[in-house]
Structure formats: structure tokens, C-alpha cells
Amino acid sequence: DIQMTQSPSSLSASVGDRVTITCRASQGIGSDLGWFQQKPGKAPKRLIYAASSLQSGVSSRFSGSGSGTEFTLTISSLQPEDFATYYCLQHNTYPFTFGPGTKVDIK
């Protein structure tokens, strides 16, 4: 199975901060990667698909980059509604695998 790791596992940040989350795959997955935001008690919401494409309706302060084995999610200016847990997902090879998550909370 492809192992997905995320760093950091958690971070504390202030409104207006630039935040970067890294996701690494144990083998190459091309651009078959998505980023998801999840708030407590809610379903995940897709933010980024194909590693760097912004989901329709999602704020442009979210961006994704990378290919192969290393990927990043960047929030350019953190807003109060962005405090949540973020997951990456590889859908290149079965079984699909998620990263363990990065919890972003208020400093």
C-alpha cells in the first residue's frame, strides 16, 4: 500500500498567517492527489484536486502544488473559518490512502 505522511501533524496559527502543509507519498502518484478540509462533526470537503486545481467555489487563498511524491497545501492568509483538520488523499493506486491529517488551530 502507498503510505501517505503529512507534516506537521498540528499547528497553531493566527488569522492572516500563511500556512503550508506538506504531504508525502511512499511512491510516485503523479498528480493523483486531493486535499480535503474537515470540521468537527462534518463531512470532508474537497479543496484541491489533481494536486493543484482549485475546487469550484473554494476560496483562492487555498492553493496546491507538487507531483510525484511531494505535495503542499498553502493557505495564503488564514481566516477564522479555516481552522479545521486537513487531509491529503492519493487515488493513484488501490487501496486509496489518506494522510493522517493536520489540525490547524488558533494560536
Partner 1 sequence: DVQLVESGGDLVQPGGSLRLSCAASGFTFSDYWMSWVRQAPGKGLEWVANIKVDGSDSYFLGSVTGRFTISRDNAKNSVYLQMNSLTAEDTAVYYCATDLHCSGGVCQRFERFAYWGQGTLLTVSS
Binding flag, residue 101, partner 1 (CB under 8 A)? yes
**Region of 13-21, 40-48, 62-70, 73-81 interacting with partner 1 (CB under 8 A):** 40-48
Tell me the C-alpha distance between 66 and 28, whole Å. Answer: 11
Binding flag, residue 55, partner 1 (CB under 8 A)? yes
How many C-alpha atoms does 78 have within 13 Å on its Cβ side? 20
Distance, C-alpha 63 to centroid of its chain: 9
Closer residue to partner 1, CB minimum distance, 14 or 43? 43
Strand, coil or helix: 25: strand
Q: What is the contact surface with partner 1 in residues (CB under 8 A)?
A: 1, 32, 34, 36, 38, 42-46, 49-50, 53, 55, 87, 89, 91, 94-101
